[in-house]
Amino acid sequence: MTLPLSFTSEVRAALDAGQPVVALESTIITHGMPFPQNVEAARAVEALIRAGGAVPATIAVMGGRIHIGLSDADLDQLGQTPHAMKLSRADLPACVAMGQVGATTVAATMICAAMAGISVFATGGIGGVHRGAETSFDISADLVELGISPVTVVAAGAKAILDLPKTLEVLETQGVPVIAYGQDDFPAFWSRSSGMKAPLRMDDPAQIAAAHLMRQTLGLKGGQLVANPIPVEAEIAREEIMPVVEQALAEAEAQGIAAKQVTPFLLDRIFAMTEGRSLASNIELVLNNARLAAAIAKEIARQKA
């Protein structure tokens, strides 16, 4: 049985040669940012990974295949398909089998990256435990996946729309190392600090690469979460973003938004209420994560050689 994976020639060649590759998700393109900023940002992220000496592999489902790396035309088309399925572990196989267009979340991207032999993945923020999860049970499958698939995920922490203490607790339960990069605090997406300390801190991509490889040496399943703070100049201070977040959460509750719609709804409302500032910050933090992910991928390739 061969896997239904389609590689671009650039990604296939890099993997065959043991060169560094960085996976990228596609839900951020279809559900996380509006067109055309989504496609422009995706292209800028890919360019930055190439500049960092690695090959980008944006992952999405089209035509009954899991694409590892997208052509320019595919990326352009995906960016204008807001009704693409939002895929996690639960719906990835169904989407492939039905031949529908699907965008991979952090969870589904980790699964596909692992199948393709890619160790490092850059995104914006991961899904987490939603506020009020004690009644809604809304806990992102991203957290569970981090405990299963052997991929190091570089994100800017978790969004302030989530319950961050509970998110860190679930990650601990799943056995996921949460590594703050270059600071003690766990970052909160638009803000550099969540006010909470991360369980681990590393200041060097080589250490993160060594820890990734040691999980494999020890036979431990699951990946790592690298929490990379947004650059200072792009940050929106916690005091400033929190009232906006509270307002968006109240609107979501009033409108009965649930399940997969929650995260895209909140992001969209926050973009509107900050007049695009949250989008500009979001793009900057993804670029920053792409840069770090390329450095980690290079180190993993070097240490394995």
Nearer to ligand PSU, 108 or 295 (CB): 108
Query: In this chain, which residue has its C-beta nearest to Mn ion?
Result: 138
Query: x/- contact string, 125-154, with Mn ion (CB under 5 A)?
Result: -------------x----------------
Q: Which of residues 124-153 bind ligand PSU (CB under 6 A)?
A: 124-125, 127, 140-142
Can 221 be counted among the known catalytic residues? Answer: no
Q: What is the DSSP string of 193-207?
A: --SSB-SEEE--HHH
Minimum distance of Mn ion from residue 55's CB (angstroms): 31
Residue 51's Cα: distance from chain center in Å? 20
Nearer to Mn ion, 32 or 79 (CB): 32
How many other C-beta atoms are found inside a 10 Å radius of the C-beta of residue 286?
28
In total, the chain counts a number of residues equal to 305
Can 304 be counted among the known catalytic residues? Answer: no
What is the Cα–Cα distance from 27 to 61, expressed in whole angstroms?
A: 11
Distances (CA, A) of 242 to 161, 178, 238: 8, 23, 6
Minimum distance of Mn ion from residue 161's CB (angstroms): 11
By C-alpha distance, which of 35, 50, 133 is closest to 84? 35
Q: Which of residues 87-106 bind ligand PSU (CB under 6 A)?
A: 105-106
Task: Out of 25, 46, 284, 299, pick the active-site residue.
Answer: 25
SS3 call for 223: coil
SS3 call for 60: strand
SS3 call for 83: coil
Query: x/- contact string, 106-125, with ligand PSU (CB under 6 A)?
Result: x----------------xxx
Nearer to ligand PSU, 262 or 295 (CB): 262
Given the structure tokens 């994100």, which residue do they identify? 155
Nearer to ligand PSU, 58 or 263 (CB): 263
Task: Out of 46, 145, 159, 299, pick the active-site residue.
Answer: 159
Query: x/- contact string, 14-53, with ligand PSU (CB under 6 A)?
Result: -----------x-xx--xx---------------------
Angle at 240 between CA 153 and CA 290, to 5 degrees: 20
What is the Cα–Cα distance from 305 to 292, expressed in whole angstroms?
A: 20
> 188 phi and psi, to 5 degrees?
-120, 55
Minimum distance of ligand PSU from residue 16's CB (angstroms): 28
263 interacts with ligand PSU by CB under 6 A: yes
Binding-site ranges for Mn ion (CB under 5 A)? 138
Binding-site ranges for ligand PSU (CB under 6 A)? 25, 27-28, 31-32, 105-106, 123-125, 127, 140-142, 260, 263, 267, 282
Give catalytic residues, as residue numbers: 25, 159
